[in-house]
Amino acid sequence: MSKLFYMGAGVTHEEKRAWILGITAIASYAVYLAVILSRADGRPLAEVPYVAALLWTVGASIATTIVLSIIASIVSGDAGKKDQRDREIGRFGEYVGQSFVVIGAVAALLLAMAEAPHFWIANAVYLAFTLSAILGSIARIFAYRRGFQPW
């Protein structure tokens, strides 16, 4: 187990980026949920103002990912070095994460057809994006740690 969380010199820059993306996605969604639930205060969730909180957490998440990636590349001194294996694992992660984007789109479509409140449509899409980022990152980390055969 401890091997799975090893972060020393044997870890590529791209793997560190996968960790950063996954953890930032979890943290930003947790912050967003905490803000929304604290604002609810007994009233129905669909009536809670969510737009500003959503945009701020998405923006902060993107900014944090960029800053942490830059810091990680400065610390390890291997800025932007990406080889064939990194590219293949990156594509694999995208492919795995893609399923949740489709699920989110279908959920949003069904909610719109059912004339559900905008709150639920927006949140279904946001949750799907978050799960896509988390699942894609986990897939990439496992590919780096446990092995990856492109065939």
Partner 1 sequence: MVKPTRVTNSLRALRFANGQMTQAELATRLGVTRQTVIAIEQGRYSPSLEVAFQIAHVFGVPLEEVFQYPEESP
Closer CB to partner 1, residue 120 or residue 148? 148
Does position 3 interact with partner 1 (CB under 8 A)? The reply is: no
By C-beta, is 64 or 76 nearer to partner 1? 76
115 CB burial (10 A radius; 0-12, 13-18, 19+): exposed
Looking at 75, 83, 113, 114, which residue binds partner 1 (CB under 8 A)?
A: 83
- CA-CA-CA-CA torsion sign (118, 102, 31, 80): negative
10 binds partner 1 (CB under 8 A): yes
Nearest-5° Cα angle at 57, 67 to 62: 30
Count of residues in contact with partner 1, rule CB under 8 A? 19
- Applying CB under 8 A, does 90 fall inside the site for partner 1? no
Interface with partner 1, residue 149, by CB under 8 A: yes
If binding is defined by CB under 8 A, does position 36 make contact with partner 1? no
Whole-number minimum distance, CB 7 to partner 1, in Å?
13
Chosen residue from 50, 86, 119, 130 binding partner 1 by CB under 8 A: 86
Indicate whether 85 belongs to the interface with partner 1 (CB under 8 A). yes
Using alpha carbons, list the distances in angstroms from residue 129 to 28, 52, 101, 105, 134: 12, 17, 6, 10, 9
Select from 78, 116, 125, 138 the one that contacts partner 1 (CB under 8 A).
78
Question: Is the separation of the CB atoms in 97 and 129 below 8 Å?
Answer: no
DSSP notation for 44-85: -GGGS--HHHHHHHHHHHHHHHHHHHHHHHHHHT-TT---HH
Q: What residues line the site for partner 1 (CB under 8 A)? A: 10-12, 15, 78, 81, 83-86, 142-144, 146-151
